[in-house]
Chains A and B, each alone.
Chain A
Amino acid sequence: ETGVTQSPTHLIKTRGQQVTLRCSSQSGHNTVSWYQQALGQGPQFIFQYYREEENGRGNFPPRFSGLQFPNYSSELNVNALELDDSALYLCASSYTGVGGYTFGSGTRLTVV
């Protein structure tokens, strides 16, 4: 098992810019979720993809968007960055989501 890998590990962007975060799911996993974890908070669900289709979305604006590719890797795109978007972004994968998710180490995004 290779686990879940995320890139980059750290990123600094300016308010108003756009950013793309990447995630490579664990081998055999067809479900990927993205979470935002602000400092001192629990992770908040952004959205989830199951077999390349979005099948759930949290309370995040449309400027947060994503993709899941045929190899089950995934991207999170954030447009028009705001200071409050500064957080740790976590990717998690699973086979169908039953039994828990495997998390990556996250991408630390800082918006200045």
Chain B
Amino acid sequence: AQSVTQLDSQVPVFEEAPVELRCNYSSSVSVYLFWYVQYPNQGLQLLLKYLSGSTLVESINGFEAEFNKSQTSFHLRKPSVHISDTAEYFCAVSLTGTASKLTFGTGTRLQVTL
């Protein structure tokens, strides 16, 4: 079975500072990796995903994540955060192939302040 570990439950950061949210996964087989963002009182929005190919994936709003197979990690980074990035971020993994469920980490609360 797969599992996901997000070591940081909360990450406070000042606006315009860089940030890294850590995600490690465990699986004996190939997986797909995802980052989802959840704003207060809302559902989850897909931020970015790794399916295959380039290990560095980017989102449209400046986030990026790098798949590291040897370290079984998929850390999320942004070079300069904004107040509007304040949200809960979830790392998730699924098996490759059709109709595989998502297994989520416990989430990291990113709190951006002035």
Which A residues are closer than 8 A to B by beta carbons? 4, 6, 31, 33, 35, 41-45, 48, 50, 55-56, 58, 90, 92, 94, 96-106
Contact = CB atoms under 8 A, between A and B. Distances in A.
Nearest to B95: A97
A43 B104 contact: yes
Interface of B: 4, 32, 34, 36, 42-46, 49, 51, 90, 94, 96-107
Contact of B106 (A41, A92, A98, A102): A41
Given A42-B104, A90-B44, A100 B34 contact: yes
B45 A45 contact: no
B106 A42 contact: yes
Contacts of B98: 50, 96-98
A31 B96 CA distance: 15
- Most chain B CB atoms below 10 A, which of A50, A94, A103: A103
